[in-house]
Amino acid sequence: MCINGDNSGLQCSCFCDAIPYRPMGFQLELLDYTYYIQKRSTLLEDPAIARAALMHGGLIWHITMEHVQDPEFILSGLGGNISRYGECHRIQGSARTEPDYDLWEETLTEDQIDLLCGVYRVYRSAAGSAGSLTFTQDLSWFPRQCSFRNSSLDLGHWSPDAEDWYQCRVQMYLTADPKGQCLNQAEWKSYIHLWQTTVRTYKGIEVVSKAFLNRHFLQHV
């Protein structure tokens, strides 16, 4: 069986209005962070969205875990509103006698992902300037998927280093640390790049560990 490439998502819930716009040069405060936490908590009250966020993995999964008391509910299966929140894949039968069928999965929209990451759309020009209402950049409390994916923190599992990094950022926000400001996506990539040695360290430890086991244990079995 294979997916023929045609899939359709029926996403009726629109969160465009939930992504806030801010003027150039705005400064975030603790109240802004608190409001962001409330917004993502409200979004995740919908079981379908919470399930999709947990299955998304990575940073989105970790953010969601802060609001979901019992993650085991993900095993309850798809909700009755799958046509509203899900994405449909048309699956081709493996033989001529087998008909095609639809396979649905719960997914997140880009706006929902942005809301969970705490995205603000910031105008690049001052109010009244030419193009000020059309050109924006995305600043966020946490990096969007495009900045987090394949970084040194994205190891395929939630590592201790990723947890330390996350808690460090949260403490910056809660204590109103001047360094704890929202970053644009280029800044997030540069910030996370400082953790790149983590990947090399993990790989080095793995190589040394295998050599140690082979030398002192496995060859004597």
- Over 50: is that where the pLDDT of 51 sits? yes
The DSSP bridge pattern shows strands 101-106 and 86-92 to be antiparallel
Range of the domain at 152: 2-220
Domains contained in the chain, number: 1
User: Buried b / exposed e across 25-48, counting CB within 10 Å, b at 16+?
Assistant: eeebeeebbeebbebbeebbebbb
Single-letter residue type at 79: G
- Over 80: is that where the pLDDT of 210 sits? no
Residue 127 pLDDT: 60
- Over 70: is that where the pLDDT of 114 sits? yes
- Give the C-alpha separation, 19 to 125, whole Å: 19
Q: What is the CA radius of gyration of the chain?
A: 22
Find out whether 106 and 32 touch, Cβ atoms under 8 Å. Answer: no
- Give the C-alpha separation, 192 to 166, whole Å: 11
Residue 155 pLDDT: 82
Residue 6 pLDDT: 44
Residue 31 pLDDT: 94
- Give the C-alpha separation, 150 to 160, whole Å: 17
Instruction: Classify residue 26 by its DSSP letter.
Output: -
- Give the C-alpha separation, 107 to 33, whole Å: 25
State if pTM tops 0.75: no
Report the SS3 class of residue 4: strand
Helices (H) and strands (E) in the chain, counts: 9, 7
Residue 16 pLDDT: 43
